Amino acid sequence: QVQLVESGGGLVKPGGSLRLSCAASGFTFSDYYMNWIRQAPGKGLEWVSYISSGSSYADYADSVKGRFTISRDNAKNSLYLQMNSLRAEDTAVYYCARGSVSDYWGQGTLVTVSS
């Protein structure tokens, strides 16, 4: 069955960096483009970034452009989000989700940006 498992979250100081990972299984990872979506505490869902199946294309929300970088390793069935220059407003649960319709989601990993 399709599984997406995020990891790498934690507490980081403003201005710091963190790298999130999403391990995929149960499907042909290299066939799908992938998304990162986040949810601040008590708030709604916010799309963060996507990457195409072969890494040729990617895009970002304006709120993270220039600070976050999405990447993937199809040989390792893994998706990544490198987050730099973190701000308090980046505090959220970060989910990876599969494909254009986000048909499967991971359980999320919590990122807390606080001094």
Partner 1 sequence: DIQMTQSPSSLSASVGDRVTITCRASQGISNYLAWFQQRPGKAPKSLIYAAFNLQSGVPSKFSGSGSGTDFTLTISSLQPEDFATYYCQQYSTYPRTFGQGTKVEIK
- Report the interface residues with partner 1, using CB under 8 A: 35, 44-47, 50, 59-62, 95, 100-108
Query: Least distance from C-beta 9 to partner 1, angstroms?
Result: 14
Nearer CB in complex with partner 1: 17/63:
63
Supply the minimum distance, in Å, between the C-beta of residue 13 and partner 1.
27
CA dist 34 and 103 (Å) reads 10
Residue 64 or 113: the one with the smaller Cβ distance to partner 1 is 64
Q: Tokens representing 14?
A: 């403003």
| Closer CB to partner 1, 13 or 40, in the complex | 40
- Contact (Cβ atoms closer than 8 angstroms) between residue 20 and residue 111: yes
Q: At closest approach, how far in Å is the CB of 48 from partner 1?
A: 9
Displacement of CA 5 from its chain's centroid (Å): 11
Each as own residue / partner, the long-range contacts of residues 67-71 (CB below 8 Å, 24 or more positions apart, any chain) are 70/36
